[in-house]
Amino acid sequence: MSKKTPYYVQSEVEICNEFQTSPDGLSSDQVAKNLETYGPNKLNEQKKKSMLAKFFDQFKDFMVLVLLAASLVSAFIGEVTDCIIILAVVILNAVFGVIQESKAEEAIDALKEMSTPNARVLRDGKVVEIKSDELVPGDVVLLEAGDVVPADVRFIEAASLKIEESALTGESVPVQKEATTLEDPETPIGDRVNMGYMNSNVTYGRGVGIVVATGMNTEVGHIAGMLANADETETPLKASLNQLGKVLTIIVLAIAVIMFVVGVFFQQKNVLDMLLTSISLAVAAIPEGLPAIVTIILALGTQKMAKRHALVRKLPAVETLGATDIICSDKTGTLTMNQMTVEQWMSNNQLHSANEAMDPDNMTLKIMNFCNDTKEADDGALLGDPTETALISFGKNKGFDLEKELAKEPRVAEIPFDSDRKLMTTVHDLQNGKFLIAVKGAPDELLKRCTTFEENGSVQPMTAEEEQFLLKTNKELATQALRVLAMAYKVVDEMPAVLTSEAVENGLTFAGLVGMIDPERKEAAEAVRTAKEAGIRPIMITGDHRDTAEAIAARLGIIQKGQHDAVITGAELDAMSDEEFENHVKQYSVYARVSPEHKVRIVKAWQDQGKVVAMTGDGVNDAPALKTADIGIGMGITGTEVSKGASDMVLADDNFSTIIVAVEEGRKVFSNIQKTIQYLLSANLGEVITLFVATLLGWDTLLPVHLLWINLVTDTFPAIALGVEPAEKDVMQHAPRGRQSNFFSGGVMSSIIYQGILEGLITLTVYWLAIHFPVHSGYDAIHADALTMTFATLGLLQLFHAFNVKSIHGSIFKIGIFRNKAFNWAILLSFVLLAITIVVPGFNQLFHVAHLDAYQWMIVLIASISIIPIVEIVKWVQRKKYNY
């Protein structure tokens, strides 16, 4: 038979023939042959770039190339300080990039480390223990509770075998395994009951399986391959900075060309002088400190997010969060607790909430604790099947002392759970010559064996009406996505001679029902509501069954109750073409019974719609989608190392609501970067206009040293301080800005242009006043005063303008002028550094400036402060006209 035929639809004989094995295991000779054919049970190591190669890769960024060009120009015109500063910024950014890329490689390394160290196999008819990497297809593996499945296996024996596969399939409840042959080749991974997958955990029973896939051919290996080949999505931040670099380059080249042409051809100036002047002016237009300032703002954002349990692994993720349109969230362990919990119970024909009081002597409570194989560790942790541990935990909460009760009525025999009859029975010695038969199991199967039922302390004959009532109650609980178990019992006068289902599990008295669920996190519903208010659409993706997924989604508010058309299964998704799915993707908010490939497909479908997608997850199966998404969010507590390694951000508290906190911080960071860019570019444009117009008019306004000092003083401290501005009150009331937005969106570009022109005109006006209404006489004195007043005005203008950009459209008098202490200190420090060049003796010669009298300072201050009321008026008009 072809190897392409899935092993779960092949018979035991067919599999043994393919791998030349038998139920007694491989011979030593066959092991060697299979090892040569299939290779060791290891995941492939991805070829890694050298640190040097990673470092040089960072210089392929467009903005970095622009900065390198600027550094060469600075060196050419003799501005060595500028050259050194720019190169330092570029190298610092490259170092950060290398660190981030190195962290991303940890995902594959984590996958390699997950394999179990040892496995018990049959070889040459004997049980031997070997290292898991020595396993080969055809090996017969023995498994029992507590083992980790060492490779993909096809079961040929299964005794009450349950395997927890949530890290691979996303299903919260362990899967009952059977040694059967399936018929449908399209059976989803979560329904392949005859298969065990590498790195899943055996929680109950025992089994024997034939290894059918090792290493990269396993499901985990398949995920490793997907993870290695997953597309690295360009973040909105990187795209925006690249666009900014291109825009600046065009501006720079245009200014340089115009200046050169005007000077040489219209003013007949020296070609070399005009070349140097044009280049100097162009360099002034580039905010060389911008990448460093953006990095600092992002780093400060990561610190704030860390304090709120969101640990950022990659700096751009901070800003990307703010652009998020879609949050695709894994259900198990993310939106839910990943812990089965009793939610409702029924006794005496009455339904009760789990929070209601329950008599410790209640028979339903007694049976769920007696008929149970849960063990308790030394530290109090409950070990066993999650369903059974939930029952024991419920009993403890209701005051049932299991150890004490078992001492009085010890277990003396049992009939283990069997997937065919769907029941489990224990026998207890009542110490009075009689024995209690305690049975729990599927309600429909158990009711067939009940002849009586309990009601208000008395035992009544089971009627057809009563049976229909109990089945109806069971169905109602099941439609709420509850896993329902029934409890029944009988007391016999002697120990059963034969412990079989036919001999013992009949003539029972029905005691009650218990409904359990993996409950949603308390804060998740509120987080979903907040996300929707912020215009973000939550999408739930799970390996659970459709009904369970729909019920949980409705309880969380992701969909409306009864909104069946918003739910789709992995099988239904497989039946759709990519084009058909893309046309209907907006319809679906819940995906059930999905595989890792489905998750990547869902993320890409939304990205093709132009949406910025965040993906949360904690399992191995989430890793490829986490890497493909614009931002992958791993779980810090329940998450596997693989999911954490593939993530951009990790939630330290596994709290879904922390994502919303991070989104708010991300929006604030983007807004603050936008403010910083607006401030820097409007200031640089003001400098360019001042020099450009002055050159055209033949005025000598500013020297290179003045531009250098103003840029150093006003660009650095206020710009960084703007990066820590508190979030504006309505930051979570706006729709996500989306993938198409950039730092110039929302009126920022027009603000940069008019504010830059305004700064230039105010500065030139002060120069004109100083020349035409001088305080001193003599050309040199007048020129020195005019140059000094121009220098002081341009510097102070930028400091006062920093107050304007604390809010792009809001009035600074409403948001609070002085609420940011870091900003206040930055402005004060910059003012002092600017002032000492003029007022402190000795500095004026160094900077070629003169001392100003009170009248001149008054003109400078009035001119500088005037930018605040002018911009406030423009903002007011914009708010009225564009409803900002």
Please name the residue that has the structure tokens 């770039």.
Answer: 49
Query: Are 614 and 328 in contact, with CB atoms under 8 Å apart?
Result: yes
Q: Can you tell me the distance from the alpha carbon of 343 to that of 518, in angstroms, rounded to the nearest whole number?
A: 9
Q: Tokens for 236?
A: 């909105």
Query: Are 797 and 689 in contact, with CB atoms under 8 Å apart?
Result: no
Strand 326-330 versus strand 613-617 pairing type: parallel
DSSP 151-193: SEEEEEEEEEEEEE-HHHH--SSPEEP-S-----TT--GGG-T
Phi, psi of 629 (to 5 degrees): -65, 160
Residue 353 per-residue DSSP state? E
Q: Which whole-number Å values give the CA distances from 263 to 77, 78, 275, 548, 798, in the listed order? A: 18, 21, 9, 75, 28
Q: Can you tell me the distance from the alpha carbon of 407 to that of 669, in angstroms, rounded to the nearest whole number?
A: 62
Phi-psi category of residue 680: left, alpha or beta, with phi > 0 → left and psi -120 to 50 → alpha: alpha
Q: Tokens for 462?
A: 């089971």
The count of C-alpha atoms lying within 13 angstroms of the C-alpha of 128, restricted to the half-sphere facing its C-beta, is: 16
Instruction: Return the amino acid letter for 287.
Output: P
Q: Which whole-number Å values give the CA distances from 341 to 255, 336, 393, 736, in the listed order? A: 69, 11, 8, 36
For residue 217, count other CB atoms closer than 10 A to its CB.
18
Q: Can you tell me the distance from the alpha carbon of 670 to that of 294, in angstroms, rounded to the nearest whole number?
A: 10
Which burial class, exposed, middle or buried, applies to 614 when counting CB atoms under 10 A from its CB (0-12, 13-18, 19+)?
A: buried
Angle, vertex CA 193, rays to CA 187 and CA 197, nearest 5: 90
For residue 57, count other CB atoms closer than 10 A to its CB.
14
DSSP 508-570: EEEEEEEEEE-PBPTTHHHHHHHHHHTTPEEEEE-SS-HHHHHHHHHHHTSS-TT-GGGEEEH
Q: Can you tell me the distance from the alpha carbon of 754 to that of 748, in angstroms, rounded to the nearest whole number?
A: 10
Q: Can you tell me the distance from the alpha carbon of 421 to that of 441, in angstroms, rounded to the nearest whole number?
A: 9
Pick the closest to residue 108 from 44, 54, 51 (CA basis): 44
For residue 338, count other CB atoms closer than 10 A to its CB.
21
Pick the closest to residue 253 from 228, 226, 278 (CA basis): 278
For residue 242, count other CB atoms closer than 10 A to its CB.
17
For CA atoms 436, 442, 445, 450, give the dihedral sign: positive
The count of C-alpha atoms lying within 13 angstroms of the C-alpha of 121, restricted to the half-sphere facing its C-beta, is: 28
- 201, containing H or E segment: strand 201-213
Q: Can you tell me the distance from the alpha carbon of 529 to that of 207, in angstroms, rounded to the nearest whole number?
A: 45
Q: Which whole-number Å values give the CA distances from 441 to 368, 416, 468, 489, in the listed order? A: 10, 11, 18, 12
Q: Can you tell me the distance from the alpha carbon of 238 to that of 240, in angstroms, rounded to the nearest whole number?
A: 5
Instruction: List the beta bridge partners of residue 142.
Output: 208
**Residues classed as catalytic:** 330
For CA atoms 253, 259, 261, 264, give the dihedral sign: negative
Q: Tokens for 123?
A: 């070889």
